[in-house]
Chain A
Amino acid sequence: MSTPIIELKQVYRHFKSGREIVPVLQDINIAVKRLEFLCLVGESGCGKTTTGKIICGLLPTSQGVVEFEGADIASLRGDGYRRFRRSVQIIHQDPYASLNPTQTVADMLSYPLLRHKLAPQRRGVMQRVRELLDLVDLTPVEDFIEKYPHQLSGGQRQRVSIARALTTQPSVIVADESVSMVDVSIRIGLLQMMMDLRDRLDVTIVFITHDLALAKYFAWDGRIGVMYLGRLVEIGRTQEIIRDPQHPYTKVLLSAIPEPDPEKTRSKQHIQLRSEDIPRLTELPPGCSFHPRCPWYVQDVCDQEVPELSIPLQSGSDVEVACIPLERGSELALHGS
């Protein structure tokens, strides 16, 4: 097996909030393979953006290691470090993204090219700006090159920020979709363009979203990682997870989502949670963090031991799940239901 392009090993991250310590990520292990489609999903506050920032080196870990092409990024210095920072870019997919209102599209794209000396001289820079706009489908280029952000639609602004991330010729892009990103048509257009970029530019894309249907579309041939309260609870091939989710949380999520099809959505069976309250990160329950809400909770097991990701005993696939009853085989899981 080839070296993963990015690997997180036992990554923890906490923040201080007043006198409290907030554990935002716990024991995250992910190996991102070169050119795979990987999607991180989960509800608000589960730690997706924090994971994205850690992947890009924008945020240090509190514990654990991040490797880029096999090298611990904490050990990178000088050129090596600069190369890593250029190679791994994050795009916040927010329609109200902060593009500098006083800069034209050409300014925004040429600045990083000049700063990192990525294009020879003035003429080379403009040539490259045109190529970038062409890559993100802002064509004809002439219509966009001199525009200011307020003259662009939300979707067009998004394309400009993608083009800006591409100036440094990254090999990994973390695309972090915010909840405020609402227009379906624009979202799909952007996603398709990024999927295209993978093939044209050899970039690996990690897509972060709260929308499982969109995750399914993006990572159909790749993997999905489901996060809950700072931990990965299930990770594996998208098609398996969508068809036959293993972790109770993933099952509940998939059953809860309405479908854009009146008959299907109205006949869908919803799994009821034991509790709708989401625990606060500062008051995480002992054992499995999902146990107070889990419909298959097993007393004296789930509230005692913290489950780790593993392939369940009875499983015919390689999907990893963090659930003790599942891990121990069907007897306990049945007993619990």
Chain B
Amino acid sequence: MSLILPPDIVLKVDDLSIVYRTDRGDVKATANVSFELRNGQALALIGESGSGKTTISLALIRKLPKNALVTGGRILYQRNEKIKDVLELSDRQLREFRWNECAMVFQGAQNAFNPVLKIHRQFEDTAQSHGWTDKTAVRKRALSLLELVRLDPERVYDAYPHELSGGMKQRTLLALGVLLNPQIVILDEPTTALDILTQRAIIDVLNDMQRQLDFSIIFISHDLSLAAEMADHVATVYAGEIVELGAVNDIFYQSLHPYTHGLLTSVPTLEHAQDLLQSIPGSPPNLIAPPAGCKFHPRCAFADDTCSKDSPPLTDDVGGHLAACWHTDRLLASRKARV
């Protein structure tokens, strides 16, 4: 492969498409998705339930369910100026890639621990399956990571999973996820279903970890506040497509896609006085037979005939801020009119 990527790009997803084969037809869960992840940065994928966020992240570590089929695209991974397509890794390379290069903490993974094994066994097993058999060294690294996630290291290392609260388990998982010093950590809904104070602890821990261990993060969340707090870049996912992509401030203060705008105007804040909120009408489309043209057009206040016929490309209007919409100007005008 004669490929060249800028040195600070650790991951480049290129035109990725995935379907799920079902009795009722093919679910087009990922359609022509492209994005890049830079060294040391955090990218958030946001969008409604069923928009395809988890599917994208599972594809990155090739953990898609059996009925999934990658119908096109590449997932390029770069370390030490060597570039590989994750989709073409052999089984052995793949095992190494997961954990060593790219670790994932799954949605609702607090229940992922084997209930009959103490935490230290789960660390040791993970290390061992990647050829690291020196238990003393594993222990040393594990304890320092447990400390980093602000747990009582000795106690937790020797505990059974059921002795830990949900938030403690989630933090232990984060520590386990970075045991083998991966370059990329994927977090699927890292704070969902946790309490406010536990969420805060997880966010603070993640920030600490990223600062000290220097990895890149892809995280998936329906929670816009989490993206506002943690992400450097944000991608909005709608019906399997990335419809907007940009730096976190651009997305939150100057969104260019009506769907992102709709998400933002439907979250209440604590800061403002009374919020003027508006929900997005309708519901997300059926991904077996998505609407023609722009998939968001049936729910969009700015849609016209063009939108129901032609699918808008994800284009770069203003330096690095991309949106897939025919009528970004209408959105901007309506926002200006309201201020």
Q: Do A and B come from one complex?
A: yes
Give me the interface of A with B, judged by CB distance under 8 Å.
Answer: 43-44, 95, 153-156, 179-180, 182-189, 192, 210-214, 216-217, 220, 242, 252-254, 256-266, 270, 273, 276-278
B315 at the interface (CB under 8 A from A): no
B263 at the interface (CB under 8 A from A): yes
Residues of A within 8 A of B229 (CB): 258-259, 262, 265-266
Are A217 and B225 interface neighbours, CB within 8 A? no
Residues of A within 8 A of B223 (CB): 182, 258
Residue of A nearest to B204 (CB): A270
Give me the interface of B with A, judged by CB distance under 8 Å.
Answer: 48-49, 150, 165, 167, 192-193, 195-201, 203-204, 222-226, 228-229, 248-249, 252-253, 262-264, 266-271, 274-275, 277-280, 283-284
Are A185 and B263 interface neighbours, CB within 8 A? yes
Residues of B within 8 A of A263 (CB): 249
- B142 shortest CB reach to chain A, Å: 20
CA gap between A44 and B165 in the complex, in Å: 12
Residue of A nearest to B274 (CB): A220
- B148 shortest CB reach to chain A, Å: 15
Q: B263: which of A184, A242, A278 is its contact (CB, 8 Å)?
A: A184
Are A262 and B266 interface neighbours, CB within 8 A? no
Are A154 and B49 interface neighbours, CB within 8 A? yes
Residue of B nearest to A186 (CB): B279
CA gap between A277 and B165 in the complex, in Å: 9
Could you list 28 A-B pairs, sorted by A, with CB under 8 Å?
A43-B197, A153-B284, A154-B49, A182-B223, A183-B48, A184-B266, A188-B268, A211-B268, A216-B268, A216-B270, A217-B268, A217-B274, A220-B274, A256-B196, A256-B200, A257-B225, A258-B199, A258-B200, A258-B229, A259-B270, A260-B225, A261-B269, A261-B271, A262-B229, A262-B249, A262-B253, A265-B228, A266-B229
Residues of A within 8 A of B277 (CB): 188, 192, 217
Contacts A185-B48, A270-B200 hold; do A210 and B226 have CB atoms under 8 A apart? no
CA gap between A256 and B196 in the complex, in Å: 7
Are B267 and A260 interface neighbours, CB within 8 A? yes
Residues of B within 8 A of A210 (CB): 195-196
Interface residue SS majority, chain A: helix
Residues of B within 8 A of A184 (CB): 222, 224, 263, 266-267
Contacts A43-B195, A185-B263, A210-B196 hold; do A155 and B270 have CB atoms under 8 A apart? no
Most buried by A among B197, B223, B263, B278: B197
Q: B283: which of A156, A253, A258 is its contact (CB, 8 Å)?
A: A156
Number of A-B contacts (CB under 8 A): 125
- A75 shortest CB reach to chain B, Å: 38
Are A276 and B201 interface neighbours, CB within 8 A? yes
CA gap between A183 and B47 in the complex, in Å: 9
Residues of A within 8 A of B279 (CB): 185-186, 188-189, 192
Residues of A within 8 A of B252 (CB): 260-262
Contacts A185-B280, A212-B270, A260-B228 hold; do A253 and B196 have CB atoms under 8 A apart? yes
Residue of A nearest to B221 (CB): A182
Are B228 and A262 interface neighbours, CB within 8 A? yes
CA gap between A180 and B225 in the complex, in Å: 17
Residue of B nearest to A278 (CB): B165
Residues of B within 8 A of A182 (CB): 49, 192, 222-223
Most buried by B among A95, A186, A210, A254: A186
CA gap between A188 and B280 in the complex, in Å: 9
CA gap between A128 and B34 in the complex, in Å: 50
CA gap between A155 and B263 in the complex, in Å: 15
Most buried by B among A156, A253, A260: A260
Are B222 and A258 interface neighbours, CB within 8 A? no
Extra contacts besides A259-B271, A276-B150 (12): CB < 8 Å: A153-B283, A184-B224, A185-B280, A189-B279, A210-B196, A213-B270, A217-B274, A260-B267, A261-B252, A262-B248, A265-B228, A276-B197
Residues of A within 8 A of B222 (CB): 182-184
Residues of A within 8 A of B196 (CB): 43, 210, 212, 253, 256-257
Q: A273: which of B197, B224, B225 is its contact (CB, 8 Å)?
A: B197
- B291 shortest CB reach to chain A, Å: 15
Are A261 and B228 interface neighbours, CB within 8 A? yes
Residues of A within 8 A of B266 (CB): 184-185, 187-189
Are A179 and B264 interface neighbours, CB within 8 A? no
Are B193 and A180 interface neighbours, CB within 8 A? yes
Are B275 and A264 interface neighbours, CB within 8 A? no
Are A185 and B262 interface neighbours, CB within 8 A? yes
CA gap between A29 and B253 in the complex, in Å: 43
- A41 shortest CB reach to chain B, Å: 9
CA gap between A214 and B223 in the complex, in Å: 13
CA gap between A254 and B200 in the complex, in Å: 11
Residue of B nearest to A258 (CB): B225
Residues of A within 8 A of B249 (CB): 262-263
CA gap between A273 and B192 in the complex, in Å: 21
Residues of B within 8 A of A213 (CB): 267-270
- A105 shortest CB reach to chain B, Å: 16
CA gap between A185 and B204 in the complex, in Å: 27
